[in-house]
Structure 1
């Protein structure tokens, strides 16, 4: 994995210049709003079940099914988008997703509730992968595109801070059903803002050459990259459960939210720093640097720190997360077949999601072993770094003009 299509100089740009470029603020803002349901729906589903007299176990099951269905369906939606464009995929998906969220409070049947949340998860619009496919046409300048990608990646952590807080406020003010209504409306509004933007309407997947095939998606470089990202996800999933265990150990419920928030804040600020300029080294070298920093950032947890040092410790690996994800998208764009780029982006997203689910499940089984639980995030990060180091570099030339864009 040694892509060479990224600037390696210390060229600078400003966030104002990037956000002032045509369509950038609209696409970025619309995608963030449209993806707020990712941070809101799982929490709102749990609160709906428990508020209406259901068990926390069932609420957690529904929440997990929603997230799992959304993650597992990403590659399918990405491939459909590569074949049929963004409007024909994300538009109907957003409508089905919002309809499912609105329907959930109307049923009292557990079986129907399961079907609704699975449908809602399957239909979650693939806005993240879609946005990554738009950047080359919206920002032809690689320096500005680098900044936009870092800003895009870094702000994702805000979804998982703002979303749950908004659900809690709406639930306190009225009922979890109101939170689901707002979640559905935000999902539709954000998706509509993106899909009605000229770049999204004009975007077309790379045309398959006459008599040709879209090309095989997976090669060794992509496979190894995605396996490494599973390790990154394991670290994040383990961290979330470790935060709950910390809260229980110290009798401070707030820690369960503060520690993930510190991690997400680190990701946001790290993204701002990373996107402020381009950095020396190839994307692969930068990816390895980020993976090494990510691993080192988790090592202080092995000392079982008290809440304040633990919060500071959670900030550090978060600061390297944006570098990892941004460069992973760059490498994916270089190694994937031109006609299947969006699908490849979706597999990248799925890899992290699968790792998070595995990390959370494993951490749950380690909850009674504090030292082992605290070591799990570092273990996931070590897996990611080891896979990247073992992957033999394979030079793949940049392929400009991967998509056709009709004005």
Structure 2
């Protein structure tokens, strides 16, 4: 006897991963996204290996990130008008070729060439993350949308943990340029794994699209503003961690605090995916946003190292749920035919917020720990305030 949708027990994370195409698409996307966390470190290591300045390496990393923020909405629009299987492989070929060229260019002797290649690699980053999040609502039962988005958001922490480790390992086992070669390989391999799946080959129905695309949705603009402030918290956190490490003269804290934040995100995302009856997505986003802001208060106080690590877990508990709710809300607010571009805008805006947060925290770090710690707290508070002020646009009432 078949079980009706209304009486079917809620899915678990394991059963969602057994849904056709879900696990292969998620795995392929994670592999294809590794360069986003490998390339910045790889560019810094390659610059140092070629006896170029650290400043050049930092500029290249920033160029890569900013070019990616520009390219994702453009590629997302192309996906909405064709399919992910058409756009992503072409982008991967260009990005992979740029990474390959970076492995044979002398960074110190040809800084302009290297800068162009880094920008091209970022600009052509395949829109795998946005494409996947636009597909989830087609692949998973509506009752389980919050679960699959939570699993997706939690699993992305693996990218930010594994990417730098892989880049460092390639540098140690091969060469600094080997990390950039690995970026080329993972970009192409991950994209290919996604492009061969049937959902990625589904072509979008041809329809006229307003030139503003999803940006004509006022609710989405509210969400993007909140996401910009949310990105500030992510970008400023490593600077805060470095300051804590310097204050305690314990270098290992610079890596452990971000790792603790990621651990909290894994825990929070897993717990969010287990909820049976969450609030409506908009209200949940506001509630999670308030919790995320409150969790940063503990980091304002000077504390011993073990307490700083523990305090770093707290905002992480709300990190993956924030992203899961944000992308669900984004999908609901996106005008018809613009889901991928809308998700790409959300990703890009968070990235821009990260750049701003890192810059702001870096400038304020000279004024002490409390001032530096206030940057992520202020970013999270402004994100929550934006969501609260725009709740009607987001259908939060």
Q: What's the TM-score once normalised by structure 2's chain length?
A: 0.93
Residue 204 of structure 1, CA deviation: 2.2
Q: How many angstroms does 1:215 deviate by?
A: 7.5
- Which residue number corresponds to residue 124 of structure 2? 123
Deviation at 1:213, TM superposition (A): 5.1
In 1, the alpha carbon distance for the partners of 2:62 and 2:174 equals 24
Cα offset, 1:11, TM superposition: 6.1
> Is the contact made by 2:214 and 2:342 (CA closer than 8 Å) also made in structure 1?
yes
SS at match of 1:368: helix
Partner residue of 2:48? 50
Residue number in structure 1 paired with 2:298: 300
Quote the RMSD (CA, aligned, Å): 2.0
| Correspondence list, 1:306-385, <5 A | 306-370=304-368, 371-385=370-384
Identify the structure with bigger relative contact order (alpha carbons < 8 Å, sequence gap 6+). Answer: 1
Distance 2:84 2:72 in 1: 13
Residue of 51, 71, 74 corresponding to 2:72 = 74
Measured at CA, do residues 241 and 395 of structure 1 come closer, stay the same or move farther in structure 2, by a change above 3 Å?
A: closer
Report how far residue 252 of structure 1 moved: 2.0
Q: Give me the whole-angstrom Cα distance separating, in 1, the residues matched to 2:314 and 2:11.
A: 25
Write the distance in 2 (CA, Å) between the matches of 1:196 and 1:311: 42
Deviations, residues 233-269 of structure 1 (Å, cap 9, x unaligned): 1111111111112222222222111111111111111
Unpaired segments of 5 or more residues in structure 1?
1-6, 397-407
Match for residue 217 of structure 1?
A: 214
Between the aligned partners of 1:299 and 1:45, the Cα distance in structure 2 is 34
Number of residue equivalences: 386
Match of 2:180 in 1: 180
2:172 is equivalent to residue 192 of structure 1: no
Matches within 5 A, 1:140-155: 141-155=141-155
Aligned to 1:169: 169
Q: Distance in 2 between matches of 1:26 and 1:132?
A: 14
Structure 1 residues 311 and 11: CA distance shift in structure 2, 3 A: farther
Deviation at 1:41, TM superposition (A): 1.0
In structure 2, distance between residues paired with 1:286 and 1:347:
21
For 2:70 and 2:329, the matched residues in 1 are separated by: 22
Pair 1:171–1:134, CA change in 2 (3 A)? same
Shift of 1:144: 3.2
Deviations 1:103-138 (A, max 9, x none): 112112001000000000001101000001111222
Q: Is the 8 A contact 2:282 2:394 kept in 1?
A: no
**TM norm structure 1:** 0.91
